[in-house]
Amino acid sequence: MTVDGVPNVRVCVEPVREGATVRAQNVLGSLDRDLLNVVDRIGGPFTPVGFYYRTMLRPRRLWPQYERVLRNLAGLGCLDKSGRRSGRYDVEHRRADVLVIGGGEAGVAAARAAAENSVGSVVLVDERAAPHIDGVETLAPARAIGFYEGGLVPVDAGNVLYRFRAGKVVVATGTVEQPLLFPGNDLVGVLLPQAVRRLVDDWALKPGDRGVIVSADGAGLDVVEQLRRAGVEIVEVVDLRESLPSTLAANGRRGRLESVTIEGRELACDLLVMSGGRQPAYSLLAQAGARVEYDARRGIFVPVDLPANVEAAGSVTETEPAAAPPPPSFDGGDAKGRCFVCICEDVTEKDVKRALAEGFDSLELAKRYTTVTMGPCQGRLCHLPSIRLYARETGSDEGAIGTTTARPPWAPVSLGLLAGRGLEPAKRTAIHHRHVELGATMMWTGAWRRPHSYGDAAGEARHVHEALGLIDVSTLGKLLVEGPDAAAFLELLYPNRFADMKVGRVRYGVLGSDAGRIMDDGTIGRIADDRFYVTTTSTGADTVIEWFDWWNAVWGMDVEVVNLTGALAAVNVAGPRSRELLGRLTDVDVSNEGIAYLDTKEAHVAGVPCLILRIGFVGELGYELHFASPYGEYLWDTLLERGKDLGIRPFGLEPQRILRLEKMHIIVGQDTDSESNVLEAGMPWIAKLDKDDFVGKWALEHVQARGFREQLVGFEMANGVVPAEGGQIVLDGRSAGRVTSARMSPHLGKAIGMAWVRPQLAVEDARIEIKVDGRLEAARVRLKPFFDPKGERLRA
Amino acid sequence: MTGLDFVSLDRAVAGDGFEPRLSSPLCRALEGSDRVLDLSFLGKIEVRGDVDAINGDLEVVRITPQRALVLCAPEEAAALRDRLPGMVIDMTAALAGLELHGVRTLRRLTDLDLDALPAVGRVADVPCLVLRNGDSFRLFFPQEYGHSVAEVVLDVLKGLE
Amino acid sequence: MSFLLPCPNCGPRDVDEFAYAGETTERPQGTPSPRELASYIHFRRNAAGVQREWWYHRFGCELWFLAERDTRTNEVLKTELPSTDAAGSPTPHEPATPDTPAV
Ligand SMILES: [Zn+2]
């Protein structure tokens, strides 16, 4: 049944609620005119097991259509593709000294004993309402859905998933009555004893007028009492332990039971209660690590060798023996009904035989082929019967066939509950709300939310060249590397040299691995003899910090690495008028002598202590200000206010990407990949191969010795078309490289980009062609920055 | 100005027409909720080195044998930075702080053993220091997650109403 | 995966709190031959059994430590902080490439 859109709801345990929308599942229309019947009737021979795999494999393009029909036929419920989160789901982490799963007699006794012995906190989980026990916390209705490694037991309580870690888990899940296999066993009116007990005892419903009972154990026969109470006329009771009929079949019309035929005798009835005995519900124990073996005497699988801290209570291990296990299936004589092994997945006895005939003789393979045990009941009702059937058909015994792995979830669980809250933590800068108020389009870069632009990327980029721009760069990774070994530590980590750096200077650094690969880049400022301020890329910050800590853990040098990423906000004030603005806000000398290109200095700016770094990622005179993040909004506001007459304008990430491309400054991960090294990426001056050692030295020496295979260069399009990133460079009809970045530069009025090309093309002005929308467009290679190649604007 | 003043909150100077003011990343996200207290401006001084050498009547949270966080009133931070032993870094700006109540609230935020606090671990999917005093908990975590964590905390509280 | 990993500093925690960084490697002493270099950079034992490996307590104390774990069962036999004598200590190797451009 589908109740309020939730599929696979078991009718006999779901209470009726006012206003609930209940729909039949696995039928089209009403049961009386079940359209699937048509498929069943004509399809009996037409839709055998594995039908999809064999028949609908080709043509592949028709799969979507096939699938749509098959999904409907399979009756697996309906996914609302435009649906939104419909309810709230929470996860609660719980600990308990004893967790009892199952609130039957044995579970209650175990919980009571644990509470009386005051072993600590005791929690009892039951599918239905469990009784109150002193000293025991009861969770009901709730279901343990699996037993995961580390002793993790998730419990489904509707809208809350409890993740239990318990000192001891007591599994008292009892047994599951097993169906008998005979033709017509899917008809409405064929019930298991458990369903009868619930209908009569719990809901006071009369399950039928005339009943037949066929059972392999005493518990099944006991429902006679319930049936009498409900006023059901008992037509016949068959105790399979005493007499085993040679044929058994149920007959019906329009899906409803009308009679039962036992050894040729036809008995009119509308209720058939059947039981093939009880199988321990051992799934949770097996998931916990217990071994499961076949007990031939009792004809069931039993859990043995329980792992430490896991106990079983009650009938999950101690089931009274049936005198003799029932046969795997009954011959129905000339009955027309189909004999189902797996009701959820519509697998019949015939399907299983067919799978075997096709060579799927291993249980695990056959399970995947027929999908028996893979439906919502998770094998509760079909695992044992299917194994019995396999044993008979293959002429082996059940023990030799073994069991399939019953993986979690043990019970159907809603995807919403598994997904939980579903919020990924986002990082926001201290200036975040200002961007939103200024109308910025926000975008993700890693976990960060950043302004893409404030509505006019090209205009914002041009404005930085012409006047004054302001960008929030708080997302940069910021590290303090401090200690007597600080310089030596950085010398080992970077290909660059730092030992010769003077206090107050900044250097561009590229971080590499021992494979020579470029991992990250940033600036390194020496702010004291034994103290360096290191910035990293925004998305690489966490990796770099862990990388530094890792090597420090190995080398054990006298140096501390401190992550200041969140402690500090940072902005870049860039453009020809940036010096004038900075001069208004600080007492320090901001002239080219006072703070030269690649200088760093601590100063109060608008009353806030800042570390000023004069660097130029965007290619214009500019200052990065790094300062305590709670002053973020204040300093941002003050810069905009005091720079108003200078025409200051905020700019986003997209204009920054245009500006850096004009300078041919790389973005790690965009212009570089897992093969890129500083030599081939056109930055050979970074690598000081004369140093004794640094991470990546040997690999770079190897690259130098073997010669370059490709090189990172710039290119300029002949006719202003912007190629796609990833676009192919073509030379004489063959691939000769790929585009990594491309943009229209509003300042230069040209389409420019960067690309990896074969070394022979890494020559100024070399002609190349780039594939754009299937056409070849002409371009020229450029080795020097497109804008201000001599860096005069940066140094001005 | 020397050292690491640019990391601290208490080194700003007003005057010359400048009035530096602080804003907490949390205050907007908390929407004035009275069930959660913003502790972001509490002084948080990290000490690296021999943390056993820290003395005085201080709230010291030991994170590793070589690393501890000293919690203090904002106005005490400057004096503490001067007198604490080892390498001292002001983490006041780095860590946002929240105070909230209820064991159940915490259980919906973290897998940490609430009977074994203080501890550093995963709370609301971010790295976090958790301290407990009876039914009241203080959380300290990277401030850049402030908004996200506040959203989750408020939502959890709503779910428990 | 939901096993518990005992951090040498913090005690047992959900494995989700940690970053896994692969089996330990030995960084060559002196200049390696191309074969030694390739073996150090690219080759791993990939043991089906007990493996010595690096972990980082990312959501906790931020310490790197070594674990001996059975890769077949996730049973953790031992964890310890690395010794800080530089000679012969196992070395980090390259972390996975970040999947977003670093800007
Ligand atoms: Zn730890």
Determine the pLDDT at residue A35: 46
Residues β-bridged to residue A6: A3
Give the model confidence (pLDDT) of B8-33 as tens digits. Answer: 999 999 998 999 999 887 888 887 78
Our count of domains for chain A comes to 7
- Joined together, the tokens standing for residue A249 give 């079949």
Determine the pLDDT at residue A27: 52
Chain A: closest CA distance from residue C101 (Å): 4
Residue B15 lies in a domain: no
Determine the pLDDT at residue A56: 47
Residue B86 lies in a domain: yes
Residue B34 lies in a domain: yes
Q: Of A565, A551, A563, whose CA–CA distance to A489 is shortest?
A: A551
In this prediction, residues A148-152 reach a mean pLDDT of 91
Residue in this structure with the two tokens 């393009």, named with its chain if needed: A61
Does residue A573 share a domain with residue A468?
yes
C42 chain-A contacts, CB cut-off 8 A: 515
pTM to 2 decimal places: 0.89
Contacts (Cβ under 8 Å, ≥6 apart) of A188 = A31, A252, A255, A256, A257
C81 chain-A contacts, CB cut-off 8 A: 553
CA of C65 to the centre of ligand 1 (A): 9
Query: Alpha carbon of B83 to those of A36, A48, A581, B90: distances in Å?
Result: 82, 82, 38, 13
Does residue B109 share a domain with residue B83?
no
Structural domain of A245? 177-277
Residue A165 lies in a domain: yes
CATH of the domain at A608: 3.30.1360.120
Contacts (Cβ under 8 Å, ≥6 apart) of B86 = B47, B48, B49, B50, B51, B53
Our count of domains for chain B comes to 2
Q: Of A179, A661, A599, whose CA–CA distance to C103 is shortest?
A: A661
Which partners does chain C have (≥3 C-beta pairs < 8 Å)?
A, B
A514 chain-C contacts, CB cut-off 8 A: 27, 40-41, 91, 93-94
Determine the pLDDT at residue A485: 96
Residue A44 lies in a domain: yes
Percent of chain A with pLDDT over 70: 90
Reported as a pLDDT band with limits 50, 70 and 90, residue A29 is very low
In this prediction, residues A317-341 reach a mean pLDDT of 76
Helix (H) or strand (E) holding A237, with range, is: strand A233-239
Residue A56 lies in a domain: yes
Return d(Cα A241, Cα A214) in angstroms, integer. Answer: 10
B112 has a pLDDT exceeding 60 = yes
Does residue A361 share a domain with residue A264?
no
Does residue A211 share a domain with residue A273?
yes
CATH classification code of C4-28+36-80 = 3.30.2270.10
A345 has a pLDDT exceeding 80 = no
Instruction: Find the CB nearest B145 among A425, A604, A634.
Output: A425
Give the model confidence (pLDDT) of B123-149 as tens digits. Answer: 999 999 999 999 999 999 999 999 999
Percent of chain A with pLDDT over 90: 60
A368 has a pLDDT exceeding 90 = no
Does residue A182 share a domain with residue A273?
yes
Residue A374 lies in a domain: yes
Instruction: Find the CB nearest B108 among A90, A482, A483.
Output: A90
Contact A223, A213 (CB under 8 A): yes
Return d(Cα A350, Cα A366) in angstroms, integer. Answer: 13
C19 chain-A contacts, CB cut-off 8 A: 546
Determine the pLDDT at residue A785: 96
CA of B104 to the centre of ligand 1 (A): 24
C27 chain-A contacts, CB cut-off 8 A: 514
| Closest Cα in chain A to B90 | A567
Determine the pLDDT at residue A41: 45
| Closest Cα in chain C to A548 | C92
CATH of the domain at A486: 3.30.70.1400
Determine the pLDDT at residue A221: 86
3-state secondary structure of A604: strand
What ipTM score was computed for the predicted complex, to two decimals?
Answer: 0.97
Determine the pLDDT at residue A44: 41
In this prediction, residues A77-81 reach a mean pLDDT of 66
Residue A672 lies in a domain: no
Residue A80 lies in a domain: no
Does residue B55 share a domain with residue B32?
no
Give the model confidence (pLDDT) of A584-615 as tens digits. Answer: 999 999 999 999 999 999 999 999 999 999 99
Determine the pLDDT at residue A376: 74
A329 has a pLDDT exceeding 60 = yes
B23–A630 C-beta distance less than 8 A: yes
Pick among C17, C59, C62, C63 to test the B interface (most B CBs inside 10 A): C59
Give the model confidence (pLDDT) of A728-753 as tens digits. Answer: 999 988 999 999 999 999 999 999 99
Instruction: Find the CB nearest C14 among B65, B67, B111.
Output: B111
Return d(Cα A446, Cα A10) in angstroms, integer. Answer: 44
Instruction: Find the CB nearest A553 among C2, C32, C82.
Output: C82
Chain A: closest CA distance from residue B55 (Å): 22
C40 chain-A contacts, CB cut-off 8 A: 514
CA of C58 to the centre of ligand 1 (A): 8
C9–B122 C-beta distance less than 8 A: no
Determine the pLDDT at residue A371: 81
In this prediction, residues A93-100 reach a mean pLDDT of 96
Does residue A624 share a domain with residue A569?
yes
Query: Alpha carbon of A780 to those of A197, A751, A755, C76: distances in Å?
Result: 84, 11, 11, 58
Does residue A163 share a domain with residue A109?
yes
Which partners does chain B have (≥3 C-beta pairs < 8 Å)?
A, C
Does residue A286 share a domain with residue A273?
no
Chain C: closest CA distance from residue B18 (Å): 32
Does residue B99 share a domain with residue B74?
no
Return d(Cα A638, Cα A616) in angstroms, integer. Answer: 22
CA of C5 to the centre of ligand 1 (A): 10
Does residue A272 share a domain with residue A181?
yes
Contact A478, A585 (CB under 8 A): no
Residue B149 lies in a domain: yes
Determine the pLDDT at residue A479: 97
In this prediction, residues A357-383 reach a mean pLDDT of 80
Reported as a pLDDT band with limits 50, 70 and 90, residue C98 is very low
Laid out side by side, the sheet with C19-23 consists of C19-23, C50-56, C64-70, C76-80
Return d(Cα A380, Cα A378) in angstroms, integer. Answer: 6
A780 has a pLDDT exceeding 80 = yes
A669–C97 C-beta distance less than 8 A: yes
Does residue A268 share a domain with residue A240?
yes
A44 compared with B80, residue with greater pLDDT: B80
CATH of the domain at A743: 2.40.30.110
DSSP class of A676: -
Reported as a pLDDT band with limits 50, 70 and 90, residue A45 is very low
Backbone torsions φ then ψ of C6, nearest 5 degrees:
-80, 110
Does residue B111 share a domain with residue B62?
no
Q: Of B97, B102, B80, B101, whose CA–CA distance to B89 is shortest?
A: B80
Structural domain of B107? 26-39+95-161
Q: Of A696, A666, A694, A701, whose CA–CA distance to A681 is shortest?
A: A666
Determine the pLDDT at residue A218: 84
